Structure 1
Amino acid sequence: MSILYQDDDAFVVSHKKYIDSVYEEIGYQIHPDLFNIPVPYKLLQPKKQTDINATPCKSFEELCREVQFVEDTYKKLKDKSILNTFCSECEEQLNTVALQFLKYLRSNKNWIENLVKNAFGANIGKVTVKTIDENNYLFPEDSKFYSKDINEIHNHLDAKYDLIILDPPWWNKFIHRKRKATGDGYQMMYNNDIKSIPIENMLNENGIVVVWCTNSTQHFSCLTKEIFPKWQVTFTGKWFWLKVTSCGEPVCQFSVPPRKQPFEKIIFGFKKPPKEFPSKLIISIPSIIDSHKPPLVEILKPYLPEKPHCLELFARYLLPGWTSYGNEVLKLQHESIYVNKPQL
């Protein structure tokens, strides 16, 4: 069970415990070093706050309200000692262990270079390990994947889904400069490219769209005012994922927008919005791997039918009973990021 605590304002979840529960039957656990984050990150804040000057006053005020909501909700839980449900005693002073493991992964050619490309597959049955091109991958129960480009999605998916989750590679100037200078970084998409994904043809009549969004006001505005209407869903609300260390502290300090925040937004669009859908906080220790988002499977159960038909786009891992679609859909299924516990 990944939900360690919940109330009207927040969920405290364990990404690691959920993944471990998925593969417990075959003796695998996700590598614990991925979540060994004892201290906040040291981040360089921008010297010039040009985004503030370019942001309309109302948008800036809304960003400030979001920061205040997340910070206030976090403080309430901390005051109640709720975060002790997963916090450990932090003796280390640096995130060295997690960073060393990430360095190992980036030097592991099997993990970096042997991505399964232009393929389709499914595991109809119990959780298992399968070998593809001499590499081992973990497959959860009754999972399906498409290792395909998002622009080809209309050629591969013709089913209807109760829930579609997207983690798009939003356009980002920093990543663009990084790619130009070093060749590193991920391939990004413009807002219109994301808008062109035919979500409206893939949702059931009571369907829900959930989008991981950056803290950019431009991305949020385009998503809610242009993309959601095209997808035929109504913007219903936003939740926030607060990333904390294993000692329960935010991974970076709260600050005045548009500076870096310790949280990300989760935006909801409903075909048939509920009467009430208040903002909530999801708190967890993040993985050291970029864009390794915590599964929302258990949290979203109250909004879904008993046996929902679910799809994740831009996926980098698989989930039991889900369809996953993306260029790197098996990246986080590779055995390199797991440990095999011998069966007793």
Structure 2
Amino acid sequence: YSMELKEEDDEFIIWNEEEYINATYKNLGYHIHPDLFKIHSQFVMDSAFEKHKTRQEKETFDSDEDDSYKGSEEAKRVHLKLFDGSLEDVNTKLATTARNVKKRGRRSGKYSKEISADNNLLARSKSTSAMKATQAMRLPGAATVSSIVSIDNLSLETLSTMSPWFECEGEKGRVVEMRDESGIRSYLVPPGSSFHVGDASQINDYSNLNGVSFDFIVMDPPWMNLSVKRKKMYSMSDDILGAIDIPSIMDPEGVLAMWVTNSPRVHNMVEKQIKAWGLTRIGVWFWLKTTTSGRPSTSFVASSSGKQPYEAVILCVRREMKQKLAEEKKLPRKNLIIASIPMCVHSRKPSIIEIYRQMVSAAVIDRPLEIFARSLYPGCTSIGYEPLLLQNSEFFQKL
């Protein structure tokens, strides 16, 4: 899969996650359900949406006036060390870029001018129904093993007795079925992927016993964000990050990409942990979430929930390798804004492994790993309590 990403001097790219997912599952005869990407308007409460609807419908296609940018100057100044230590206001920088994203995206046809003011009803409704069809796979009492078995052995029985590592060989991927008391559920498994249902720290034994290390590690820790009433499967205070032995599971020249929230508390935690692992930060990339017409998905003005239309991913390498990687031109660009329409499912991030591959031409990613995974990627090892969550066929449509 290859996207037309612009010249090196651009500060942003427009990434089409829907297209990437569809390319991944085409050989299996599926594509992602198109409703999940129908993010036509900014996310707001239904009552607030009705109030703003009339005003939004009056917008002319070429107009640059946009609620999202008003007040971005007054928005909280985020002088965050992790976001490059500069005093530059992240909000203002991203709001300025967002204007250019919208202009270029509409010009190139990546964004449409139609604004169907529906408060993303189709997307939200499909997301809700698909989530209802998911199965709980975190089964207490399962003995954890580091053995690798074929995806053919996948069943709730296997998961509840020994929870091994499942592997999907072949170039096409597989559709596998699992039976529970409510019937049979189908899951799409991409080619070359392997996964384990269990605690993130179990990657240590797997790596050690199988003699495997990873060259690109993605981590999206479930930060206890107040705006997300997430099941308390993990609590970051239990030092789950510290229990993951990054120095022993990561290749000498490996890269760690860690998604972080905008909370200063989280930033302190991340900074300490990066140091404890002997890593150093080499860049910060921002994911700017947009609607189908190129607007930011929420306002930049700090709302009561503090929800911003962007998230950041911090890129790190071993401290002692930074100089060597720089000399070999293997380091990524320090800053990049990835604009894309989000899938209407909590916590589904753009495919950073594929984006990194395309943006860093010297990067060779042969053994990627995702920790705290909620979906699977081709050729990638995934671990977490819900690695099959978004692989349920309810999220897809047959071609």
TM-score normalised to structure 1 length: 0.84
Assess, with a 3 A threshold, how the Cα gap between structure 1 residues 303 and 190 changes in structure 2: closer, same or farther. farther
State the distance in 2 between where 1:141 and 1:196 align.
30
2:289 aligned to which of 228, 243, 247: 243
Q: 1:280 aligns with which of 312, 336, 345?
A: 336
**Is the Cα contact below 8 Å between 1:4 and 1:11 reproduced in 2?**
no
Write the distance in 1 (CA, Å) between the matches of 2:131 and 2:251.
40
Among residues 96, 107, 110, which one is paired with 1:72 in the alignment?
A: 96
AA aligned to 1:123 is C
Most deviating of 329-338 and 1-10: 1-10
Gaps of 5+ in 1: 45-51
- 2:197–2:385 contact (8 Å) kept in structure 1: yes
Unpaired segments of 5 or more residues in structure 2?
49-75, 139-155
Q: Look up the SS of the partner of 1:289 in the other structure.
A: coil
Larger Rg: 2
SS in 2 for 1:85: coil
1:275-323 C-alpha deviation (Å, 9 max, x unpaired): 4732110010001110011111332122664452110101111111111
Query: Alpha carbons of 1:135 and 1:119: their partners in 2 closer, same or farther (altered >3 Å)?
Result: farther
Determine if contact 1:2/1:15 at 8 Å carries over to the other structure: no
Aligned residue for 1:220?
267
**Bigger mean CA offset, 280-289 vs 306-315:** 306-315
1:270 aligns with 2:317: yes
Counterpart for residue 185 of structure 2: 135
Distance 1:56 1:213, change over 3 A: closer
The number of equivalent residue pairs is: 324
Q: Does 1:105 align with 2:130?
A: yes
CA offsets 1:80-99 (integer angstroms, 9 cap, x no match):
45674321343421111111
Q: Are the structure 2 counterparts of residues 333 and 9 from structure 1 closer, same or farther at C-alpha, using a change threshold of 3 Å?
A: same
1:122 is aligned to 2:164 = no
Q: Distance in 2 between matches of 1:40 and 1:173?
A: 21
Of the structure 1 ranges 210-219 and 229-238, higher mean CA displacement relative to structure 2 is found in 229-238
CA shift for structure 1 position 4: 4.6
Matched residue, 2:256? 209
Q: Give the letter aligned to residue 204 of structure 2.
A: H
- Higher RCO (Cα < 8 Å, 6 or more apart): 1
Call closer, same or farther: CA 1:114–1:81 in 2, change over 3 Å: closer
Does residue 314 of structure 1 match 2:339?
Answer: no
Aligned partner of 1:150 among 185, 188, 200: 200
Query: How far has the Cα of 1:124 moved from its partner?
Result: 1.1
SS in 2 for 1:21: helix
**Does the 8 A contact of 1:2 with 1:17 survive in 2?**
no
Give the 3 Å change call, closer, same or farther, for CA 74–2 of structure 1 in structure 2.
Answer: farther
User: Within 2, Cα distance between the matches of 1:58 and 1:141?
Assistant: 39
Supply the distance in 1 between the matched residues of 2:254 and 2:40 (Cα, whole angstroms): 39
Are the aligned partners of 1:12 and 1:83 in contact in 2 as well (CA < 8 Å)? no
State the percentage of identical aligned residues.
27
In the alignment, which of 18, 35, 38 is matched to residue 36 of structure 1? 38
Structure 2 distance, partners of 1:310, 1:59, is 24
Match of 1:331 in 2: 389
Superposition deviation, residue 66 in structure 1: 1.4
Instruction: Return closer, same or farther for 1:278/1:306 CA change in 2, 3 Å cut-off.
Output: closer
What is the one-letter code of the residue matched to 1:170?
A: W
Cα deviation code 1:10-50 (max 9, x no counterpart)? 12111110010011112100111111110001169xxxxxx
Check the 8 A contact 2:115/2:293 in 1, yes or no.
no
1:42 is paired with a residue whose SS is: coil
Aligned to 1:190, the other structure's residue is in SS state helix
Aligned equivalent of 2:11, options 5, 9, 12: 9
Does 1:169 pair with 2:226?
A: no
Q: Aligned to 1:157, what secondary structure does the other structure show?
A: helix
For 1:59 and 1:140, how far apart are their aligned partners in 2? 34
The aligned amino acid for 1:101 is: K
Cα distance change on mapping 1:317 and 1:88 into 2, 3 Å: same
Is 227-236 or 130-139 further displaced after alignment?
130-139
Q: Does 1:293 find its partner at 2:318?
A: no
- Which residue in 2 is equivalent to 1:48? none
Please tell me the root mean square deviation across aligned C-alpha atoms, in Å.
2.9
Change (3 A) 1:144 1:81: closer
Q: Secondary structure at the match of 1:73?
A: helix
3-state SS of the aligned residue for 1:297? Answer: helix
Structure 1 counterpart of 2:128, one-letter code: K
Conservation of the 8 A alpha-carbon contact between 1:31 and 1:338 = yes
